[in-house]
A and B are shown apart, each in its own frame.
Chain A
Amino acid sequence: MLTVDKLNVEIEGTRVLRDLSLSLRSGVCTVLIGRNGAGKTTTLRSIMGLIPRISGTVVLEGREIQDLPANRRAGMGIGYAPEDRRLIPDFSIEENILLPTLALKLPAEERRERLNQVFDFLPQLKDLRARPGGGVSGGQGKMVALGRALTVADKVLFLDEPFQGLAPALALEYARTLSRLRKYRPDLALLITESTPALLREVADEELQIERGEILQTATA
């Protein structure tokens, strides 16, 4: 589905990703584990095209996308839920969820349809729909960010440290949601980053370790 080959990225003169290669398959949940500063966020941001790379390719379904502007990736079916939620504070929750579909100029019926799908899958968001993005709790915000990414994630979904900052009960609930997601969207290629792997054992098919910008070994969970 999505293949990254020998990606090299520098931030302010320091090499942050070194020959990073990984491959995501439809229906497979890949977990990228690494300590703080290992390069997890940078991996996702560079696949999304948000930071320039030195070399390497990103191939989505046979098409090289590494040189396309970042905004084109959402339209190609890649959903991305960044670290720290990053909701638009003065947009309502509903508007936050719909933002990618608005950006992609989807027709009104299609947008409503996708919103309803998100509400079907995450019914708790329905009650929050009118609240401002800046007025929900951290846990609720994570769900909104997941819903927002799902509106355009036809093929691939990136979740950057979804458990970070969640209280244990909420983290468990989020993990259950991810298990449900596997059944609800069986074709999706998932890439989830995490610093502590325990919570993801349930959902992970494949585990990758990243250290100082390098993938260490491939183990199957």
Chain B
Amino acid sequence: MLQTLIPLAVDALANAALIFFVAVGLTLVFSVLRILNVAHGSFYSIGAYVAASVGLWIVGAGLPDWLTFPALFLSAAVVAAILGPLLEKTLVSWTYGKSEAVQVLVTFALFLILEDLQRIVFGVQSVYQDTPMAMLGISEIGGIVYLNYQLLLIGFAAALLIALRIFITRSRTGRLLAAVVADREVSEALGIDTKRMFMIAFTLGVFLAALGGALATPTTGVSPGLGADTMVLAFAVAAIGGLGQVEGAAIASVIVAAAKVLAIYFAPSLDAVAPYLVMLAVLLVKPYGLFGSGSTRKI
């Protein structure tokens, strides 16, 4: 029994870790900017493509293999540093104060543009670069075999959750972001540069999504359509956890990933819909998600 359950649990948690990176960024951007960015999943696939390409280049150039680890983080940082400010200052900021329908349409247009750009730049082939996973190898504990890279992913996600909480409650920028989430106008009147906060939150969201994608490449590779798949999962997580909820996103990531892994194992035909069945069930009982509320705004 345990021989089956533990690998399943590890698989679910490693999947949850990757979904969490994207979903927590989505929820953060939603809290601060009050925009549901439909293109958010594209940052995941762009991060994945860039990281895989950089990894392939490192190995191809005969550089030391361990460089593929820092390259994952560096790729995400570069994607965020370029796309974050660029998109926020142009398309995204144009939608501020506009109706939700306009925001969805504009960010959907952005999604289509980004998808096409990825096809042009990275082609339509799957890209696979698993040096980091191969390097870490496996461990065998009590007769159960673990992929060390999966354990590392789970550790990263847990560290991110703690780091985000500390950032929000302790750092100056984190406090200012929390104030903007709670009351935008008063924040501005009290001296907070809310425009700058929007840019920071958006860029952080892009970074987290791109990092999720980068960290996913060694296990799953990347191919066209990844952005859309990821977006719907991230949306399900954000809805289940409650939009704007950091810890909620973590727990919801585990729920969604568990639903997906269980479905793959026990009812493969339900694999794609399992996360949404869970989402539907949660929203029927709690319309604002497990941890969300209709009134107070906080992160």
Contacts and interface: CB of A to CB of B under 8 A. Distances in A.
Nearest to A95: B175
Interface string A129-163: 00000100000000000001000100000000000
B192 interface: yes
Given A69-B195, A103-B191, A103-B192, A86 B179 contact: no
Contact of B175 (A71, A74, A102): A102
Interface residues of B, number: 20
Given A102-B172, A103-B190, A91 B178 contact: yes
Contacts, number: 70
A75 B188 CA distance: 11
Interface in B211-267: none
B194 interface: yes
B209 to A, nearest CB: 26
A80 B189 contact: yes
Nearest to A149: B190
Contacts of B191: 71-75, 100, 103-104, 152
Interface residues of A, number: 26
B247 to A, nearest CB: 14
Nearest to A145: B186
Contacts of A48: 189
Nearest to B173: A102
A208 interface: no
Contacts of A197: none
Contact of A71 (B183, B192, B296, B298): B192
A103 B183 CA distance: 14
17 contacts: A50-B185, A70-B188, A71-B189, A73-B189, A82-B186, A86-B183, A86-B185, A88-B182, A88-B186, A90-B182, A91-B182, A99-B175, A99-B187, A102-B172, A103-B176, A104-B191, A148-B190
Query: Top 9 A-B pairs ranked by shortest CB distance?
Result: A74-B191, A103-B191, A100-B190, A103-B192, A86-B186, A88-B182, A70-B188, A71-B193, A104-B191
